[in-house]
Structure 1
Amino acid sequence: MKRGQFIRNALLATGAVVSGKTVSAFEREINVKENKPFNLNYGPHHGQFENHAGKNITDQIQFMFDQGFRSIEDNGFSRRTVEEQERIGNLLAKLGMTMGVFVLDKGGNGANTLAAGKQEHVDIFLKGCRQAVELAKRCGGKFTTVVPGDFVRNLPLDIQTANVIEALRRGAEILEPHGIVMVLEPLSDTPDLFLRTSTQTYLICRGVNSPSCKILYDAYHMQRNEGDLIANIDRCWDEIAYFQVGDNPGRHEPTTGEINYRNVFKHIYNKGYRGVVGMEHGKSTKGKEGEVKLIAAYREVDSFLA
């Protein structure tokens, strides 16, 4: 059975209504756009299409490609076996797909905060940087996510910022010769986190002063922490190397919350961004129906050139 017919059958079986369209209308749309790449380079995550493609990561990658996606993200890539890492890298190369971010192993968390200025924490971080060089070789990726960890309540904020900058400079010395970029991600998960806003991250990147230290702008987290998305993207543009998305509230696919992703995507496209846009979010609907709805949502918000 052809994949296009497979998806149409899934739609008919679930009786889905996607993005306000009837099933028949979406059937016609998916038939026209089948296999057509998107305007922006969206990168799904492992597991987002497992109801259609199964649990095997390479089967999922093939399915993503067949639906028009040309990148993936795999936060847990460093925890896979070397054999599986190489298998993923080989398939991506064969399909002409890109590996987006993978998380730097122990790149900073509540138990290993770079803000504290402790040598043992820095050593763990630098070990992760050296590991990232090997991981990048296996998958062809060049971006690794770094979160500097939590605030340290007994140190002034400026001292913490200096500690983070110094640690990141040492990490950049490892990564820069290999063309690998650590992208710093400000998060909204807890107020204990040191890195919270795009402008704070911009300051740190300027302090590190390396092409291997840039901003990962996750619009979901930034909508929660600061809002004013397009204006802040413009303010920090020179240091932004990577985007991730998820709608708010709920952290599901675009069109399910308050963010006008069609306008955001049009804006970054017009500014010249052609890198990966990581789909770091859940699905608003379970099962195959939710996966079809996910594809439809990205087709809808990607129609900004129409």
Structure 2
Amino acid sequence: MITRDIDRFLAAARSTPADFGPATARAAFLVAPDGFRLAGQSAADNHYMADASAFDAARASAQHRDLHRAIAQVLPAVCFAGDPETPDALFPNNVFATAAGRYVVGRMRHPVRQREAARADIRGFFRELLGYAEADLSTQPHPCELTGALVIDRARGLGFAGLSERCDEEGARLMHDALGLRATLVFDLAEGEYHTNVVLAVLAGRAVLACPGGFADPAVVDAIAALYAPHAILLSPAEHAGFAGNAIALSDDTVWMSGGAARVLSQATRGALAAAGFKLRSVELDAIEAGGGSLRCCVGEVY
């Protein structure tokens, strides 16, 4: 079921058992920020991106290595080489996503990012090495930037698809079908927001971080909060701006976000994460955040 009807979605979601699959990934993949610089096409609809003068490629590369080392302490993590012709490729979760036994290639809005979908090495990793079946959405016309636009509760097979210039309604349906989800709620992001995963994170299937200002309709936030109560954490505008919503659980007991995001967390948010059973880990990523994304955007998940 894929719907804009909040009540219909809630009725289905509340009756859905947590037996869809593991709540967190079994491995991760990253793409190195080789050639990291301002991508003008991407900047057209990503207000989080900094000016060209703020990009520091060497610092971004060093921080990305720190992230890889940190993640590799808790689960297998592979990092593919970057490509100077694809300066946004360090955010691979927009282009490649996985479900049990399959991988999905997304359709990016901007031509500079569409190049990433053609990478034979990443496709070969999933197809030849892991033996995953392919669902290729990259050649159809509807933008669907995978787990940038679609936040997934992997334990229950629920999707939250925020529409923007990076994902339209048909793109949401294509992702829902390709990932085999049980129920997906479709809604509009607030004007100026480009990806759902900047304003929403489902943590190991039992808690949620949400930035109310990122949603066009407050009723959507209320519904998501009701679904994950008592572990629904609504973030302040400062936490939103600091990328605290761009977080990920890579295990059942730990939430990861950037160092900048961790520093803007209120005591109430920290306490709510602890009450939900999560420790907090962070990695300094200020140079990478100049590119308009943060820690979760850098992490592709292997299920």
Q: Same fold (TM over 0.5)?
A: no
Which one scores higher on RCO, CA 8 angstroms, separation ≥ 6?
2
After TM superposition, the score normalised by the length of structure 2 is 0.30
Relative to the length of structure 1, the TM-score reads: 0.30
- From the two aligned structures, give the one with the greater helix fraction: 1
Which structure dedicates a bigger proportion of its chain to strand? 2
Question: Which protein is bigger by CA-based radius of gyration?
Answer: 1
